[in-house]
Chains A and B, each alone.
Chain A
Amino acid sequence: MVENDSLKEKVWLALQSVTDPEIPAVSVIDLGMVERVSVEGRTAKIEVLPTFVGCPALELIRKEIRKAVEGINGIDHAEVFFIYEPPWTSNRITETGRKRLKQFGIAPPPTVEGETNEWSVDCPYCGSTLTTMENVFGPTACRSIFYCKHCKNPFEAMKPVGYFKETID
């Protein structure tokens, strides 16, 4: 069956409204989680990369995606597949995503090459670089806890997650 491009566009558009329940300001697209969308007939297939393997929000995200996509005129059924190739990394977060994270009070992750524990972020409130990491582990798997010494606010940052590409080739 021929793929329907205009429906596909509509699916992408609908996905703009689906967010991670733990970060409601940023869509799954801007988090870099959506890898592929295809439409055959009246069925849409959405391939999604989980951010963290044990993320408890995954099933909720699946439900939200189905609800949003099945609400499109012309789509009866939406299937969500969690795939692991390519692996999700925090470098996949879009510019819009980074801006929205900041507006939400979460510092966007620094861009990383491979694995590193040496990273810092600027304060999302006052922009100061005078921040300290309080705990690399935060309230959710994908977040860390920081403190801004300048404006004296505690804040969260999205943890940078990378990988060494050469080992998977």
Chain B
Amino acid sequence: MINVKNALEARKNNNYSDVLVELLYQLADDDFILAFRGSEWLGLAPHIEEDVAFSSITQNMMGHAYMYYQLLEQLGEGSVDELAHGRMGPQRKNAVLLEKANGTGTYLKSPKFDWAYTVVRHYFYDLNKKIKLDSLSNSSYEPLRQAAVNIRKEQFYHLVHWETWFKQLIEAGGEAKTRMIAAVENVWTDFYDVLSLGPQGEEMANFQLIDKEKAMKGKFIAMLEELFQKLQLPSLPNLVETRLNGRKGEHTDELEKALATLTEVYKQAPASTW
């Protein structure tokens, strides 16, 4: 068993720290951009209780991203604020699905956001996040291990939340079910890189930072299959590799637009603290 106590120790081995940094960027950027998309729903959720719940979940998720960026800061990658706000699209390692807009329109102008899409995207993402966190609770990098244990305590409630929405909307039948099935197809088409650990995935597993990509993917697919059977949904087609891979820094211009919005204030006063 490899055990690396802290950033100082990690930096003694360049190969290890390079791979670790890569993994942390994926984890941080995933939570960060989806938390941003979640925050765009504030005031627009289907009912007031959901508004309270969703903003709380979003705040937690932003906290999770913050924690991963903190680990990157300790590894000499720059300050948390710079990492969150200062990096351009091609430097971002989040999966493409997570950066996609919530629907047409913008937060300020005719936001025709798609709730079904949001429920499916968050639910599938959180199902996989749980698998990753379980694995990360045994990571060879001690600070990451501790972060995962703490994040998982909160993520549990998020997963239950999205699972409830997912099941209820499917079981409601009618238009709800039709729209949910369309959303599932939509999300699934873009899901490839969510389950990917990128070009350095194998080394991540070799350094015991996280489980093998293939093992986690298998777990995820098995969980979905069981769920789909229970809900009597048609089974999902095989996952196809997408044209863009976020783990390689390839993104849509929807990410560029999101970054332009979320960094607007930061760019005006980069020295201020948040």
Contacts and interface: CB of A to CB of B under 8 A. Distances in A.
Interface of A: 50, 52-56, 84-85, 87-89, 115, 117, 134-141, 145, 159, 161-163, 167-168
B162 to A, nearest CB: 12
B62 A136 contact: no
A135 B52 contact: yes
Contacts of B150: 50, 53, 84, 87-88
A113 to B, nearest CB: 13
Indicate the size class of the contact surface on chain B: 20 to 34
B57 interface: yes
Contact of B156 (A115, A137, A167): A115
A85 B134 contact: no
A50 B153 CA distance: 12
A55 B64 CA distance: 10
B60 interface: yes
Nearest to A89: B153
Interface stretch (B101-109, B141-149, B193-201, B263-271): B141-149
A137 B57 contact: yes
B118 interface: no
B134 A54 contact: no
Given A54-B66, A134-B49, A163 B56 contact: no
B161 interface: yes
A167 B49 CA distance: 33
A16 B63 CA distance: 27
Contacts of B59: 54, 56, 141
B153 A136 contact: no
Interface in B7-64: 49, 52-54, 56-57, 59-64
Interface string B170-200: 0000000000000000000000000000000
10 contacts: A53-B154, A56-B59, A87-B146, A87-B149, A87-B153, A137-B52, A137-B54, A140-B56, A161-B154, A167-B149
Contact of B53 (A50, A136, A159): A136
B170 to A, nearest CB: 19
Contacts of A141: 56, 59-60, 63, 154
A13 B238 CA distance: 61
A55 B63 contact: yes
B98 interface: no
Given A137-B52, A138-B56, A52 B146 contact: no
Given A53-B63, A84-B147, A163 B152 contact: yes
A162 B153 CA distance: 6
Most buried by A among B59, B61, B67: B59
Given A53-B66, A54-B63, A137-B52, 4 more contacts: A52-B60, A137-B57, A167-B137, A167-B149
Contacts of B239: none
B274 to A, nearest CB: 10
A52 B156 contact: no
A85 B153 CA distance: 13
A139 B66 contact: no
B53 to A, nearest CB: 4
Contacts of B137: 167-168
B269 to A, nearest CB: 18
A168 B147 CA distance: 11
A31 B145 CA distance: 24
A53 B67 contact: yes
Nearest to B135: A167
